[in-house]
Structure 1
Amino acid sequence: MKVAVVTGGAGAIGTAICTQLVARGYYVLAVDVDIAGLERLPAGVTGVLTDLSAPDFYQHVLTAVDDAGGSCDLLVNNAGIVTVGSIELADPAVIRREQLINLHAPILLTHALLPLLRQSRGQIISVASLASMLPLAESPVYCASKAGLRAFMLSMSLWEKETGVRISLVHPGAVDTPMLRHEATHGGSALNFLSEPLKPETIANAVVANLDRPRLEKCVPRHDGWLVKIVGITPGVLQHIRPLLERAAQSGLQKYPRRNGITLGSP
C-alpha cells in the first residue's frame, strides 16, 4: 500500500484530500494540530498530532512514517494560515508563525522525506495560492510565504531528472473554508471574491489529478489564473487597476457573509 503524508489534513481542504487519497488506495498520515479534526477523519487515515511551527515537528512525521512501514510515496504540503491587516500593526510572533507554517514547514518536510520519496520515485504536491503571483495588500505575509513556496517548488522541479520525484503545484483562488470566512469578516482582500469561492473538494480534485497526469502548475479556477499571470507580467499595473478590481469584487464580498450566515467580526 502506498503511503501519503498530508499536512493540514484536518482542515477543510485537507480532509477532502485525505478522503480522496484513501479512495485511491493510499494509507494517509494526516499532519495537524487539531485533535478533534484528526479524530473526524475517515478510516485509512492516521492522525499525526504536531505543530508545524515547532522546530522538530518533522521528527514526529518521520516517526509516523517509520511506524507505517518506513516508506513514503507522496507528500502533500497543504497546511496554511493567513493573517490580515497592516504589517506595522502585526505581532512579530504571529508573522513568524505564518512563515513557519506556510513556507518553512514544507521546506523542512521535503528535506526530511526526500530520501524516501527518491526510493519510491514518488511525488510532492504543494497547495500554494494565486496569491503567490498576485500580491494582496491586506495579507502581505501570506503572499510572501506562498510566493516563497512557489519558488521553492519550482526550484525542486529542476532536480526531477536526478531525484525521480515529481513536483506539482496547485494554486487555488478563494476557497470556502473557515480561513476565508475569517478574511471576509476581518478585513481580508475584496479580490478574494472576484469569482465565486470554490468548494474544498474542487481543490482536492486538482491535487489528486496530479497522480495520473502530473502538471508543474495548475491554477484553479483557470480563468483567474490567466488574469493573475497577465498582471504578473507588469506588476506595477496592479496599483492602477486594483480599485477597479475591488469594485468588481464588492458584490461577491457582500453576498458571501450573508449566504453563510456570518456577520462582521464573528469568529
Structure 2
Amino acid sequence: MSFDFRDKVVVVTGGAGDIGTAFATLAVGRGADVVVVDIDPRRASRTAEGLSRPGTPIAGDLTDRAFVDALVETVEERFGRIDVLVNNVGMTSTARFDVRSVESIEHELAVNLVSPLVLTRLAIPLLRRSQDPRVVTTVSLAGIFPQGETPIYAASKFGLRGAMLSIGLDLRAKGIRAGSVLPSAVDTRMLQQEAIDGGNSLQFQNPPQQPADVVRAMVSLLDRPRLEVYPRRGESVLTRVTMLAPNLLPRLLPLFRGKGERGQDRYLHTLERRGLVRRDGGRWDWVEAERV
C-alpha cells in the first residue's frame, strides 16, 4: 500500500539540502505539512517558501541541545505531533585523519551520529501522538564499507546504521516504525565539494545517483516498512560480500582505484558542463555564482 501523506506532519533535517528539498517537495505535493530544518536560515526559508504549499522553516544547529529542545517545542506548539521524522542532516570532510584537528573530528561525529539520535529521542513524545509514526534516516553505504580517505564519515555512518537498526527493533514493538536508506554517492553539493577537494575516488566507480533516487527509496520505506533499503541494490550486495573478508581490502581496493579516479574526473567535467565548477590551473573550484 502507498503511504498517505495527506495532513501528515513531516520534519526533515538537512531540509534545504538536495535530498531534503526533494523529499520535502514530494511530501508537500502529496498533502503533507513540512517542517524544513537547516543550519542555514536563508536556505531554510527559501526552500520552505518554494514548496507548492509553504512549509515551516526552522534554522539552527542540531548539535546544540538548546536548539533541538526549542525545535521540538516549536513543532509541538504549531502541529501537536510528528508523523514522519526524516533524519537527513549530514556532512563530510576530506581532511585526512592524520592531519585534521580533534575538534573537527568531534564536530563531524556530533553532526552525523549524535544529532540524529538526540533528535529522534526527543521527538518520541510527539511521534507517539501520531496514529502511524515513522522515522526515516539517511545513512550511507559508508555505514557498511570503510572509507580510507574519510574515516570519520565512515565511523559516523557505521555507528548510525547500527543505532538505527537497534532503534528500529526496539521501537517497532512500541508502535513506531523506523528504517534507514543506504545510498552510495549522490549528486549533491556535499559530493560536489568532495570531488573538488579530492575526496574518496572509490565512490565514483559508477555515475552518482540523483537525490530523486534516494527519495524513492525513502518513500518505499514508508510504503512498506522495513529496517533498511538500498537505492542501488547491486552495489549494496557487492559491498556486503566484500566485507565478508575485510583483511583482503588492502589488496582489492587498488584494483578499483583507477576506475574511481577516472569516474571522479568525468564527474568534475560533468559539473563543469553544468556551469557549477571550473578548472583554474591544476585545481577545480566553484563558479562563484553557485556558492551564493
Tell me if both proteins adopt one fold, taking TM over 0.5 as the criterion.
Answer: yes
Query: For residue 111 of structure 1, what is the aligned residue in structure 2?
Result: 121
8 Å Cα contact 2:11-2:37 kept in structure 1: yes
* Unaligned runs of at least 5 residues, structure 1: none
Deviation at 1:265, TM superposition (A): 4.4
8 Å Cα contact 1:29-1:64 kept in structure 2: no
- Match runs of 1:173-252 below 5 Å: 173-252=184-263
Query: For residue 7 of structure 1, what is the aligned residue in structure 2?
Result: 13
The count of corresponding residues between Structure 1 and Structure 2 is 267
Deviation at 1:61, TM superposition (A): 1.5
Give the TM-score normalised by structure 1. 0.95
Query: For residue 160 of structure 2, what is the aligned residue in structure 1?
Result: 149
Query: For residue 19 of structure 1, what is the aligned residue in structure 2?
Result: 25
Distance 2:172 2:204 in 1: 39
8 Å Cα contact 2:221-2:229 kept in structure 1: no
Query: For residue 267 of structure 2, what is the aligned residue in structure 1?
Result: 256
Q: Which amino acid aligns with 1:25?
A: G
Q: 1:169 aligns with which of 177, 180, 183?
A: 180
8 Å Cα contact 2:8-2:31 kept in structure 1: yes
Distance 2:78 2:250 in 1: 50
Distance 2:230 2:110 in 1: 24
Deviation at 1:56, TM superposition (A): 2.0
Q: Higher mean Cα deviation, 145-154 or 179-188?
A: 179-188
8 Å Cα contact 1:62-1:112 kept in structure 2: yes
* Deviation readout 1:211-256 (Å, 9 max, x if unpaired): 2112311112111111111112221222210001112222211111
Distance 2:259 2:152 in 1: 25
Distance 1:234 1:84 in 2: 26
Give the TM-score normalised by structure 2. 0.88
Deviation at 1:64, TM superposition (A): 2.2
> What secondary structure is seen at the aligned counterpart in 1 of 2:229?
strand
Distance 1:87 1:114 in 2: 35
Deviation at 1:135, TM superposition (A): 0.7
Query: For residue 139 of structure 1, what is the aligned residue in structure 2?
Result: 150
8 Å Cα contact 1:128-1:150 kept in structure 2: yes
> What secondary structure is seen at the aligned counterpart in 1 of 2:128?
helix
* Unaligned runs of at least 5 residues, structure 2: 1-6, 287-292
Residues 1:266 and 2:276 aligned together = no
Query: For residue 78 of structure 2, what is the aligned residue in structure 1?
Result: 68
Distance 1:245 1:162 in 2: 42
Query: For residue 47 of structure 1, what is the aligned residue in structure 2?
Result: 57
> What secondary structure is seen at the aligned counterpart in 2 of 1:136?
coil
Stretches of 4+ aligned residues off by more than 4 angstroms? none
Distance 2:179 2:172 in 1: 14
Relative CO higher for 1 or 2, CA cutoff 8 Å, sep ≥ 6? 1
* Deviation readout 1:34-73 (Å, 9 max, x if unpaired): 1221122213311111111213221122122123221111
Q: Higher mean Cα deviation, 122-131 or 87-96?
A: 87-96
Identity percentage of aligned residues: 37
8 Å Cα contact 2:20-2:88 kept in structure 1: yes
Cα RMSD after superposing both structures: 1.4
> What secondary structure is seen at the aligned counterpart in 1 of 2:259?
helix
